[in-house]
Structure 1
């Protein structure tokens, strides 16, 4: 789940960049990055694939992992590694060399989606038609299994149905409101464990199950350091993606942070308040309740991008103060970002002061993003004012 979350946030970070009518494709470090409103790509990749858009459709092959987020996602790429996908509708219809982890309102694997590892589906309507060599984990409102599963299966849902091709080679743990009949052709009754369906108890037990995992014991300081390193690498990856796909827009927002800090701070308060207010307002509409998780995800994305943008702006300001170049190379930009993340991270260990500094950075970054979005929808009146309010020229 952690890997799915990181992949999803990274992909939504791509989609949160300024809207692009045309598809953008770039290869960097052996990995392939795709973004756009509608992404349609036949791949022949040797590394990992990252894609984000409103509608994402892929085909071809990749030797690495596939990470895709969008509204409608159709993965027809034969993947040598893992597949991580998130969206409203997710469809996987090509072989996968390792594991599949996918989340959405509607998630489906077709008969062509042969999974060599484990399959994990989370969503409202889940359909599994592709054979699975490993184990299956499916959490949803309705689950339909119509494929052979070589390993164990854990299905937690309100309704569970089995197709003619369904067969489970290991054990089946069935978590449903009522005990349901499972055909003997799917699995013998002595290999089925029934559990009462209770959302609260289920998630509490799922959370407690991590305590039973025998994890390698590390000193506290080493655990904290490892967590910081992982977070720093993640932020650097997001920074590299943003500077690659939207360099001019990022530079414009960076300059706003340093040149108009007070106004940008106020806009950050307004923008962040609007995002947090979206959650209860969306829930109150009743029909918007399914979109509450997306509103929460938008807050996380805005918080992360805002923090990173303001940290980058601060780092560039310091670089110029020490006689650094006005237009540094990409390597130098990432270097100063890494150093800034380290310094700001260390400040977190200072009580109160660290929290104030980090929260201020978030508000400055969100303010710059808010200003950029407002300028997109509201015409800038400055050019007209410059003409109308200019002083008369003396003859």
Structure 2
């Protein structure tokens, strides 16, 4: 029965997976969620709209907020409230009844894109041609203003230029490497405020503009040792808890690693790939975005458990290889785990070798966990002959 359920789950996953490349629309109340590899659609929605795809071109009208993310984004939709857009290339053509917040490597608002509220724009190259009734905040390497702005304008850019249609009714605050000549048609001299900023300077100069403080330095020896002690105590406590509350299951996991270490590493690579793959798949479905932090937390937890399990299995294998007692007590087992963590920490000072050793332990441990999880669905999924003590079904 479990084998049939597991096979059915795999079949459903294979059937559904290609659908992520197609346009998928989900409606929850007045919220509309759209995702796919390429989204070319005309939207008519009374509430908020969320769109995510590699290439996004949307038109129509949205009476709520519009959220758009993708690699190549073009928004021709008229938005009654706020617009949020992000991508490598972003172009805004529709009217925005509220505020506009957009970011992209290349960002442009066309003359047809009128913003009734404030605009917050950021990118490598930012071109503003759409009129703005509120205030404008723009950050970029190159910023070109070629539109009327009724409120204040605050620009931080290495290069700032103005077009013929640029008019700032409020005060123009701009930060650049050097003072530029602002045409009187853009803003009167008394409404222009300049502050210098050095883009190519070091972090200390940049820290005067952004409150990031000093660049971090290599931690002192006392800090490194303190972090190691805390990590060592954590893993030893984790090992003691596992030995106290689940000794039999822990022993089965360890035996799986000792009996078939190569198969455990393959299973670990598979399990880790499946776990990490949950993050982009959740993002593509849009509705799964709130679950991304949970998936990331699960990756951290499984990674830590796999590291501890792999270290414990290797330490006990070395202990027995040295001719010591085959079944040491729990205190000795915890000390062996602590010794394994200490040795691996010392190996980290050796380039490449330390990383390989750490990752090998992670794969061994996650592999045992993966086989245990799969074994819950398929009773004889991958047990090596030395461990498979169950009677044959034939």
Could you tell me the TM-score, scaled by structure 2's length? 0.51
Hey, what's the Cα distance between the residues in 1 that align with 2:171 and 2:206? 19
1:212-253 CA-partner distances (Å, limit 9, x unpaired):
xxxxxxxxxxxxxxxxxxxxxxxxxxxxxxxxxxxxxxxxxx
Matches within 5 A, 1:374-385: none
Matches within 5 A, 1:51-66: 51-66=51-66
Hey, what's the Cα distance between the residues in 2 that align with 1:105 and 1:47? 29
**8 Å CA contact retained: 1:19, 1:37:** no
- The higher relative CO (CA closer than 8 Å, separation ≥ 6) is in 2
- Cα 1:157/1:183, change in 2 over 3 Å: same
Residue in 1 aligned with 2:42? 42
- Cα 1:303/1:95, change in 2 over 3 Å: closer
Residue in 1 aligned with 2:74? 74
Kindly tell me the number of residue pairs found equivalent between the two proteins: 230
- Is structure 2 residue 58 aligned with structure 1 residue 96? no
- After TM superposition, give the deviation of residue 118 of structure 1 in Å: 0.6
Hey, what's the Cα distance between the residues in 1 that align with 2:76 and 2:265? 47
Structure 1 unaligned runs (5+)? 1-16, 209-259, 276-299, 314-362, 372-381, 383-392
Hey, what's the Cα distance between the residues in 2 that align with 1:189 and 1:45? 45
Hey, what's the Cα distance between the residues in 2 that align with 1:22 and 1:52? 12
**8 Å CA contact retained: 2:55, 2:71:** yes
Name the Cα RMSD after superposition. Answer: 4.1
1:178-233 CA-partner distances (Å, limit 9, x unpaired):
1111111000111111111135556654548xxxxxxxxxxxxxxxxxxxxxxxxx
Residue in 2 aligned with 1:189? 189
Deviating beyond 2 angstroms after TM superposition, the runs of 4 or more aligned structure 1 residues are 17-21, 198-208, 262-272, 300-305, 307-311
Could you tell me the TM-score, scaled by structure 1's length? 0.51
- Cα 1:193/1:75, change in 2 over 3 Å: same
**8 Å CA contact retained: 2:85, 2:103:** yes
- After TM superposition, give the deviation of residue 21 of structure 1 in Å: 2.6
Residue in 2 aligned with 1:354? none
Structure 2 unaligned runs (5+)? 1-16, 213-255, 257-263, 278-288, 303-361, 371-380, 382-392
1:89-114 CA-partner distances (Å, limit 9, x unpaired):
00100110111111110001111110
Matches within 5 A, 1:364-383: none
- Cα 1:309/1:35, change in 2 over 3 Å: farther
- Cα 1:143/1:21, change in 2 over 3 Å: same
Hey, what's the Cα distance between the residues in 2 that align with 1:141 and 1:172? 18
Hey, what's the Cα distance between the residues in 1 that align with 2:265 and 2:185? 68
